[in-house]
Structure 1
Amino acid sequence: MATALTILVVEDDPLQNEVLCTFIASNGHQALAAFNGSDALARFSEVLPDIVLIDYDLPDINGEQLVAALRAKAERWVPILFLSATHSVEVQRDCLLAGGDDFITKPFDYPLLAAKIAAMCRIALLQKHIGEQNEQLSDHINRAKQENEAARYLYDRLIRSQHPPPEYAQHYVLPAEQFSGDLLAFNVGPNGHLYWLLSDATGHGLSAAISLIPVTQVFYSMTSKGYLLNAIIGEMHKQLRQYIPAHRFVCTLAIELDPDRNSLMIWNGGMPDALLTNGEGALHRRFCSLHLPLGLQGASGFDNQVEQCQYPDGAILFACSDGLPEARNTSGEEFGTTRIENVLLGHDGPAEMATLQQRLQRFLQQQPAHDDVAMLWLRLPTSRAMPTSHNAGAERQRLAACEWRLRLSGLQLQHLDPVPLATEWLNRIGLAANVLGTAHTILVELVNNAIDHGLLELSSALKEGEDGFSVYFAARQQRLSELRHGELKLDLAIEPRFDRWQLRIQVTDSGKGYDVAALREGPVQSLTAKSGRGLKLVHQLSDEVEILPTGNACIAILRL
């Protein structure tokens, strides 16, 4: 016998009990003797046996009652073989109905008894093996649950935004498993730009969710520092190529909103079309996927160029992961883009999201989605009121005189944005958050003016017309990629001024410069104009502004 089992013999006849125990031991098993029901229950509790042999007629309890008591005590199923001197079919039936597994009559046919015990042994061994597997499975489930809880705790904190979603936004995520491979993230830049990220990693579940961590870390870090969207996309791609397996990738739709200019920038890599409507149900623009997903190709072939346009007041932007149009019902039919566009086009208002969710649930017929689903609905914000005082409510800061200087060549400007570097330095020396945001906005305007008009010699007249903003942005990207000469200088200084500190920002380019006299005599531009708005904004945010006589350098002063 390969495995010795423990067999409990419950027989009130001492001689018969001893014979059975000897017979069991001769077959390689351990026998435990009990002579009545009370003794059997005590021995059963002390050592849970693998098999029990029970005499049907015991002095203190009948066999049927004892089986019920033993079954109540057992932590697992134990085979029970009834022993009886009666040949009555009714008795055998009653024993089996009471919970017994087999029956043998006295006097015993010992070869038959050995065969029945052997059969019980096989069942007991199988039950024991199943029990061990169940324990292993239970341990595995508990460990997996603990690991999932730890992973969820860490994951939620890694992807969580410091900013709650604004009231103009609605979002919906339906995971196919405990962890979603779809992600919606939101952040606010130091200059008030609003960033959204909708990502869909390969597959679903924990393995997909892990692939999103490098993306979210880059997103929150770089948007907080005010990096341009194309630089953020490029760094996301780089991090994914470095940290996730080659066969995995992340489809991504990245959005940057400038509500003061009604400006929208989008990068779509592998996601379904994003739809921009005019707020009255008419399609204004469709943002198709123009790029491969993040992490799918080498750095040399990766394209991080974004699309840019101006949006009308009241415009609505809708985006989703492929889990929505590709959701299938029990008949195998896909939800499709037509159903989505029927809701979005010709309708207006936040009810569109609720309608889509309801139609998706009805379409799925209460069945779980086969893939993660994510939706984002935005009524794009506009802001006409600019702050009148950059330091209203600013906390007192302990500052010291210091300077920061940066010189960048034309080639370096193709891949390096100086504004986040300057903003990070200002943050580290202790500027208050509201002052930092104002300084960032001034830096963006002055640096963009220096690059666009000074080094690239772009005319603001390109912005006129329905698609003027897109034409201007495309021309900027083209000229910047061809820039080989020129220089940009950025000088920051914290310096004392009478009884308080001030921040001095100077941006200088090597271009031809403005006609300073004409600039001073020209009409004041509106904050909503497509051109000329940058310098107007700098004047409004700064305490002092000076354009040097050369026309290629501008100084802005912020009193702290």
Structure 2
Amino acid sequence: MSKMKVLAVDDNRTNLHILQVFLKKLGHEVILAENGEEAVRKFETESPDLVLLDIMMPVMDGFEAARRIKGMTCDRWTPVIFLSALNRDENLVEGLDAGADDYLTKPINFVVLEAKLRSMQRSLSMQQVAIDSLHRVQAISDNVLDAIITSDEQGIVVSANQSAERIFGWSQSEIVGRNIAILLPGESSAKPGEQPGNARPAIRANEQEVLARHKDGHQFPATLSISQVTLDNQQMKICVIRDITERKQAEQQLRANARQLQTYYDQTQAEQQLALRLMEKQLHRSGLRDHRLKYKVIPAEHFSGDIVAAARSPDNRFYALLADATGHGLAAAISVLPVLALFYRMTKLNRTVQEIILELNQQLRESMPVGRFVALTLVCLDEQSRQGEIWVGGTPEAFLFDRWGRATKTFPSSNLPLGIVASSELGGEPQSFSWEAENQLVLYSDGLQEATNPANEQFGTSGLIQAIANTSPGDRFLKIEAALEAHQNGTPASDDVSLMLIDCP
């Protein structure tokens, strides 16, 4: 503090003038008063840093003025130095009892006065540093989101920050001096014989959840941590309280969402299991157990959009179907259910390949949304005449292999998938063929062609032909399975895979 504001009080104007000149020469600001009453009034309005006070004055003497001034400075220390011609010990004692911080007899020794002023100035500078530090701490405390409440050993609140006002609804003046139990009812317990007002909060080392009480009476969840400190030889408790109402509400909402998700998951699982059982019942018909047929369907998900079907007509003609609906999963699986029902009904009626294809196309056109279609290969074998028909639309080409694993005939995909155009526009007659002893037909979906290995290389038609080359008819299906598994080497399929191998007797 380089400059002080000094209140100089003396009923002698000459003395006042001398003091004023001396103080201004030292660089201080000077306020003048000629009696104790005027000194008290100016002290209240001007808030000086230091008071130089004469004792013997009219209206109000220095002793009374000092007592009143000291009663007005509870927040900060303002030194009062008596300047008086009274130099007896009892005058000195009375002055100190009145609240004076120092005493200087007249005539004034200005060298001593200057030294006393420097000493007071150093003390005031230290006080200002302490006040500034306190203000900084208070500013930090008031800007913390948590309530910070200090109480004594009996639980009486000594201080509270602004967040305590916001959280509890009480003003700081309403909180201070009351028992902390009004804020934390569960944190106080009176000893036998104690009144509730003297109840003391329990000491907790770690943060715990408690119920706090708002001024309006409602309770809310909060976290509380209490630490104990010693200030001025007195044990004090510092309580840090955080309102966790929003967090609890969020946790409750998360738990409710988790329960809903679990319920939805359980329902979905139950529905999927039911759908899977229904699909399996539709897919696994007795015709697929024909001794001349081997097949495999590998779904990319729980449900396959690829289906295979086989049946014998009353005339003992053998029918086989491999279909691949758009996409994969449950939606694709549902798309091919109409194909199965029609296939099995029409094969019982000895319908030709052409008739079955047209009827399937019409059904899919009527039942499937735009953009959905079914690629399909349909085969009919007359074992008595060794004559067959095959229709390929949208699926990869089919092959007829001889007994040594050579592809003797290829049946290209020369037709559109079903469900795209009207039956009158579909066109495409089935391809007729005959076979020799131990010949085999191989039908498959594009999922087999597009199956990749870890290097992202596709299995392709070449992989199929290589797997079959130089194999005997009885080992052929297993060789294809092994080749595909070796190629994928653990890489999951991105599309449904289906494969049919039919012995031509």
TM-score (norm 2): 0.56
Are the equivalent residues in 1 in contact too, given 2:381–2:387 (CA < 8 A)? yes
Shift in Å, 1:155: 2.4
Secondary structure in 2 matching 1:86 = strand
2:430 is aligned with 1:299: no
Are the equivalent residues in 1 in contact too, given 2:292–2:502 (CA < 8 A)? yes
2:239 is aligned with 1:85: no
Are the equivalent residues in 1 in contact too, given 2:224–2:239 (CA < 8 A)? no
Q: Give me the whole-angstrom Cα distance separating, in 2, the residues matched to 1:281 and 1:321.
A: 20
Q: Give me the whole-angstrom Cα distance separating, in 1, the residues matched to 2:328 and 2:224.
A: 54
Q: Give me the whole-angstrom Cα distance separating, in 2, the residues matched to 1:190 and 1:150.
A: 33
Q: Give me the whole-angstrom Cα distance separating, in 2, the residues matched to 1:158 and 1:25.
A: 67
Structure with max Cα Rg = 2
Shift in Å, 1:87: 6.7
Q: Give me the whole-angstrom Cα distance separating, in 2, the residues matched to 1:358 and 1:56.
A: 73
Task: Report matched runs for 1:30-109 at 5 Å.
Answer: 34=186, 57=203, 81-86=223-228, 106-108=237-239
Are the equivalent residues in 2 in contact too, given 1:83–1:106 (CA < 8 A)? no
Are the equivalent residues in 2 in contact too, given 1:13–1:35 (CA < 8 A)? no
Secondary structure in 1 matching 2:495 = coil
**In structure 1, what residue type is equivalent to 2:434?**
Q
1:201-257 CA distances to partner (integer Å, 9 max, x unpaired)? 000001100110111111000001111111011100000000011210000000111
Q: Give me the whole-angstrom Cα distance separating, in 2, the residues matched to 1:14 and 1:351.
A: 89
Are the equivalent residues in 2 in contact too, given 1:234–1:304 (CA < 8 A)? no
Q: Give me the whole-angstrom Cα distance separating, in 1, the residues matched to 2:441 and 2:411.
A: 10
1:503-551 CA distances to partner (integer Å, 9 max, x unpaired)? xxxxxxxxxxxxxxxxxxxxxxxxxxxxxxxxxxxxxxxxxxxxxxxxx
1:56–1:166 distance in 2 versus 1, CA, 3 Å: farther
Are the equivalent residues in 1 in contact too, given 2:226–2:239 (CA < 8 A)? no
RMSD: 3.4
Secondary structure in 2 matching 1:107 = strand
Are the equivalent residues in 2 in contact too, given 1:21–1:32 (CA < 8 A)? no
Q: Give me the whole-angstrom Cα distance separating, in 2, the residues matched to 1:240 and 1:56.
A: 76
Task: Report matched runs for 1:20-419 at 5 Å.
Answer: 26=169, 34=186, 57=203, 81-86=223-228, 106-108=237-239, 113=241, 116-117=242-243, 120-303=244-427, 305-381=429-505
Are the equivalent residues in 1 in contact too, given 2:229–2:238 (CA < 8 A)? no
**In structure 1, what residue type is equivalent to 2:276?**
R
Are the equivalent residues in 1 in contact too, given 2:228–2:238 (CA < 8 A)? no
1:407-448 CA distances to partner (integer Å, 9 max, x unpaired)? xxxxxxxxxxxxxxxxxxxxxxxxxxxxxxxxxxxxxxxxxx
Q: Give me the whole-angstrom Cα distance separating, in 2, the residues matched to 1:295 and 1:83.
A: 71
Shift in Å, 1:282: 2.0
1:95-152 CA distances to partner (integer Å, 9 max, x unpaired)? xxxxxxxxxx94236xxx3xx32xx444333333322222221122112112212222
% identical equivalent positions: 28
Q: Give me the whole-angstrom Cα distance separating, in 2, the residues matched to 1:217 and 1:277.
A: 30
In structure 1, list runs of 5 or more residues that go unmatched.
1-11, 38-54, 68-78, 89-104, 382-560
| Equivalent pairs, count | 312
Q: Give me the whole-angstrom Cα distance separating, in 1, the residues matched to 2:225 and 2:400.
A: 82
Q: Give me the whole-angstrom Cα distance separating, in 1, the residues matched to 2:258 and 2:487.
A: 38
Secondary structure in 1 matching 2:447 = coil
Shift in Å, 1:165: 1.8
With a CA cutoff of 8 Å and minimum separation of 6, indicate the structure with the bigger relative contact order. Answer: 1
